[in-house]
Amino acid sequence: MTVHKSITHGPAHRRRHFDWHFENGRKLLHIKNERGREHEFALDEMQAILRMLHSVFGMDFFPLANNVELLGNGTEQTGFGTTIVAQADATVSHAQGASYLGVVLEECGYLEWNQQHVGIEWRIIDTDFSAGELATRLSARAMQ
């Protein structure tokens, strides 16, 4: 198994280094940050997230939107985190993985980051969300 090393986009004091790999057999993305916190995203869940983001925002930028308090009380703006939490059985804790998943999908050529460390946003730049293509990109990127 090849592990890829990445870093989130927040301000310097909030950026997190993380490792990730895609388990092709189980179609599962594993993420583990420098503090040992883990997130997992199934291939079909990532497809659903990308489709929903594209349906709501098209090719426009969308916010990270993963503030724990705002997600918890249902007042967070529509964006990446709220899209994750809208998935079946998703939790606020799972939606915290948006800052990691965004970087992974960016590195795989699906998203473009707005280059801001505060006010992080992405936009979709490729709409081939097929299971085969997504799995190929995750597998190929994780091997680099």
Specify the pLDDT at position 111. Answer: 98
Specify the pLDDT at position 90. Answer: 84
Number of domains in the chain: 1
Tokens in use for 92?
């606020």
Range of the domain at 88: 4-142
Place of tokens 């993305």: 29
Instruction: Record the pTM.
Output: 0.94
Say how far apart CA 119 and CA 128 lie, in whole Å: 27
Specify the pLDDT at position 88. Answer: 81
Specify the pLDDT at position 142. Answer: 52
Place of tokens 């939790």: 91
For the chain, give the secondary structure using H, E and C. Answer: CCCEEEECCCCCCCCCEEEEEEECCCCEEEEEECCCCEEEEEHHHHHHHHHHHHHHHCCCCEECCCCHHHHHHCCCCCCHHHHHHCCCCCCHHHHCCHHHHHHHHHHCCCEEECCCCCCCEEEECCCCCCHHHHHHHHHHHHCC
CB 126 within 8 A of CB 54: no
- The tens place of each residue's pLDDT in the chain, 144 residues long, gives 678 999 999 999 999 999 999 999 999 999 999 999 999 999 999 999 999 999 999 999 999 999 999 999 999 999 999 999 999 888 999 999 999 999 999 999 999 999 999 999 999 999 999 999 999 999 987 555
pLDDT tens, position by position, 24-48:
999 999 999 999 999 999 999 999 9
